[in-house]
Structure 1
Amino acid sequence: MSVSKRFLAILVAATAILLYLVHSHETILASRPQFPAKSADSPPYTAAIVYLVSVMPGPRSPERLLQSIPLMEKNIPWRYQWPIILLHAGAYSVLESQEDFLDQLQESASNHGLEPEQIQSLMSRIQFVATYHELPEGIPMDGVADGPIWGGEWPAYHHMCAFFSYKIFNHPSIRDLTYFFRLDDDSYVREPACFDPFEYMHINNKSYAFRDDPPDMGWVTEGMWPFVSNYAERHPFVESMLEHNGLQWPPNRKWRLRFGQGVNFPSYETNFDLVKVERFRTPEMTEFLYELASVPKRFYWYRWGDAPVRFAQVNMFLNVEKEVHRMCEIPYAHKDRPFDDCECVPLLA
């Protein structure tokens, strides 16, 4: 029996659709973190090391990142080989730019003394993930001309603060992880550590780890004290948790007028940011982050940073004594500033 032209047309169309769906599925899978294959030693959690390489289009010097990644790989005794996600705003969208970076990374890893098998593993785990940042409605591109409190690195720095304060928890490459470990491109693990930070979090049932906690200046956290105070008053659980965690309020909290104005806000430096994702995706935390994001001027006018916001999140919703750890055991430096270290005790097998 001859095959009709109509049947052939339907068959060709169906084949084209099927090929498109297969290609789309492969593209989606390629953008997700690739985890170790299941085995007898399969990890009981998922994780990734995350760098935000750029938030604005255009080239960015990789010089510091090419030092940070090999030092992180060399000096932390990873039990499992996790993805290293490089979030970028188009800097590595072209295959040629990815290959060039990987060539430089391989050379840098060799110069830092990594063994050939370490280098091979490192190279296989690098993932380039494009992520885009747009100014919120009501924030003009030339907003710096309006005289925001801090117009430096406009609007790149403000994008970064908003991203790490709340957007990262819904990012497709992050939201389904158990843990992420965020480092800046100028974060350096100076010397060998004695444990895997993800293993530490898992074994000790921790939800958040940081490295240092200097306050953020009052002139770049304007309105943050009243915001947190008002939110706590409307949510008794938050008020109770802040009291339990020992938050020290500025004077005259009940008076309202000028409350907290010019007063520094405590923070966790987020250039070393180790997070148990599910604890930052609870309905209570999500409600808070939604309200935080509802006024974009908090980031784009008043320059609220992700460091004081992270302190607020943690102290409002986590039990600091039980869930939070200052991970001073890992020898660490940010830019040219070495942090104070403490004795590193190996984890029990």
Structure 2
Amino acid sequence: MPFSKRHVAILAAAALILYLVRSLDYSSPAPQSRFGDHAAATQPPPYTAAIVYLVSVLPGPRNPDQLLESLPLVQKNIPWRYQWPVLLLHAGAYDTYESRVNFLDRLRESAQRQELTPDATEKLIKRIEFIPTSHELPAGIPEDGGTDRPVWDLEWPAYHHVCAFFSYKIFNHPRIRDLTYYFRLDDDSHVHSPTCFDPFEYMHVNNKSYAFRREDPDLGWVTVGMWPFVSNYAQRHPEVEGRLNHNGWQWPSGRFWPNNFGVAENFRSYETNFDLVKVPRFRTPEMTAFLDELASDPKRFYWYRWGDAPLRLAQVYMFFDVEKEVHEMCEMPYAHKDSVWDDCDCIPLAD
């Protein structure tokens, strides 16, 4: 039976409808990002980040009172674009389920005292990660410090572990090495008032590699040998020498008199209880070679108590363009221990 024009039109319309239906994309929509209320549902965050607290370096319990005060303020006073993890690196203090539950219960109580909303409190709780992190004395460093006592033996060896960890070990930590940024705070760090931007977002938008809050020199008696170490490295690596010159680095007098160069001279330092780092810039081949040489003699940390604060400043000046890559984040109202640091006006980031 031949088809009429009407039948042909109907069949053509049906074929068109079938084609259009098959061409539609019925794949599931991207889920809402778990990183924050402001994250676009269809686009992942453009970077990864974490807040880092080193809460213990020796086995055994540690009083968490200061940390319990610090954490709610970080949640309350920083307008986080994404709810990145808060990493609590510990040497066994939170290995048990009971210890973690107890800490989180106390954190809820502290958050309530600091007037966090229930929603903000639960967001903070969900951000917490307990990360076991061990610290061991290097070969050749005796447990008791030996008969030749270290320069700084009041907190032996805990403080020395802290200095070594933040100077170079942190960049190979399995939970940190693949991040874009980390923001290190101490348990006695306090963001005491609201600030107007997310520090990670600031780093991303402005293409910064390092941010600090304040400079304060380390005294010469805890930087023994540091000036010659940096000087010798720069002399052997002309590109480092050139970068130091470009950044306006100042040497003490007598640089090429090795027997007394830098003796008792203070060393400029970033106070690294506030340490905002773009991790890939500290994992380049050039930086890694420097960190390997730095780590090659453990006496630098365990005898002479070299700190991560002056070494961080040296790293930045040796390998970064300070004017372009570094920011003094005075916009964030900040206190360390009982000292409230000076701040400056905060200008919100453009949306």
Q: Same fold (TM over 0.5)?
A: yes
Alpha-carbon distance in structure 2 between the residues aligned to 1:166 and 1:38 = 35
Residue of structure 1 in register with 2:288 after alignment: 286
Q: Which TM-score applies when normalising by structure 2? A: 0.88
Residue of structure 1 in register with 2:11 after alignment: none
User: C-alpha offsets along residues 116-155 of structure 1, whole Å, 9 cap, x if unaligned?
Assistant: 1111111111000000000000000011542111112000
Alpha-carbon distance in structure 1 between the residues aligned to 2:293 and 2:133 = 23
Residue of structure 2 in register with 1:341 after alignment: 343
More displaced stretch, 53-62 vs 138-147: 138-147
More displaced stretch, 41-50 vs 258-267: 41-50
Residue of structure 2 in register with 1:61 after alignment: 63
User: C-alpha offsets along residues 20-52 of structure 1, whole Å, 9 cap, x if unaligned?
Assistant: xxxxxxxxxxxxxx9669833531000000000
Q: Structure 1 residue aligned with 2:206, among 201, 204, 208?
A: 204
8 Å Cα contact 2:331/2:343 also seen in 1:
yes
Query: For residues 293-332 of structure 1, what are the structure 2 equivalents within 5 Å?
Result: 293-332=295-334
Alpha-carbon distance in structure 2 between the residues aligned to 1:132 and 1:335 = 26
Alpha-carbon distance in structure 2 between the residues aligned to 1:35 and 1:173 = 17
Alpha-carbon distance in structure 1 between the residues aligned to 2:206 and 2:143 = 45
Alpha-carbon distance in structure 1 between the residues aligned to 2:337 and 2:331 = 19
User: C-alpha offsets along residues 256-302 of structure 1, whole Å, 9 cap, x if unaligned?
Assistant: 22000000000100000000000000000000000000000000000
8 Å Cα contact 2:35/2:82 also seen in 1:
no
Q: Which has the larger radius of gyration?
A: 2
Query: For residues 127-206 of structure 1, what are the structure 2 equivalents within 5 Å?
Result: 127-143=129-145, 145-206=147-208
8 Å Cα contact 2:157/2:302 also seen in 1:
yes
Residue of structure 1 in register with 2:269 after alignment: 267
Secondary structure of the corresponding residue to residue 299 of structure 1: helix
What displacement does 1:165 show? 0.2
User: What's the RMSD between the two structures over aligned residues?
Assistant: 1.2
Alpha-carbon distance in structure 2 between the residues aligned to 1:207 and 1:92 = 32
8 Å Cα contact 1:214/1:268 also seen in 2:
yes
Alpha-carbon distance in structure 1 between the residues aligned to 2:146 and 2:60 = 20
User: C-alpha offsets along residues 156-214 of structure 1, whole Å, 9 cap, x if unaligned?
Assistant: 00000000000000001100000000000000001000100001000000000000111
Alpha-carbon distance in structure 1 between the residues aligned to 2:40 and 2:64 = 34
Alpha-carbon distance in structure 2 between the residues aligned to 1:305 and 1:268 = 10
Query: For residues 84-163 of structure 1, what are the structure 2 equivalents within 5 Å?
Result: 84-143=86-145, 145-163=147-165
Q: Is 1:234 matched with 2:236?
A: yes
Give the letter aligned to residue 156 of structure 2.
W
8 Å Cα contact 1:168/1:174 also seen in 2:
yes
8 Å Cα contact 1:45/1:178 also seen in 2:
yes
Alpha-carbon distance in structure 2 between the residues aligned to 1:220 and 1:314 = 20
Q: Which TM-score applies when normalising by structure 1? A: 0.89
**Matched residues, percent identical?**
70
Alpha-carbon distance in structure 1 between the residues aligned to 2:126 and 2:152 = 40
Unaligned runs of 5+ in 2: 1-33
Q: Structure 1 residue aligned with 2:53, among 51, 63, 68?
A: 51
Q: Is 1:251 matched with 2:253?
A: yes
8 Å Cα contact 1:144/1:154 also seen in 2:
no
Alpha-carbon distance in structure 2 between the residues aligned to 1:35 and 1:260 = 47
Give the letter aligned to residue 124 of structure 1.
K
8 Å Cα contact 1:35/1:46 also seen in 2:
no
What displacement does 1:331 show? 0.2
Alpha-carbon distance in structure 1 between the residues aligned to 2:108 and 2:265 = 46
Unaligned runs of 5+ in 1: 1-33
Alpha-carbon distance in structure 2 between the residues aligned to 1:229 and 1:325 = 25
More displaced stretch, 140-149 vs 199-208: 140-149
Give the letter aligned to residue 64 of structure 2.
P
Alpha-carbon distance in structure 1 between the residues aligned to 2:147 and 2:161 = 17
Give the letter aligned to residue 55 of structure 1.
V
Give the letter aligned to residue 350 of structure 2.
L
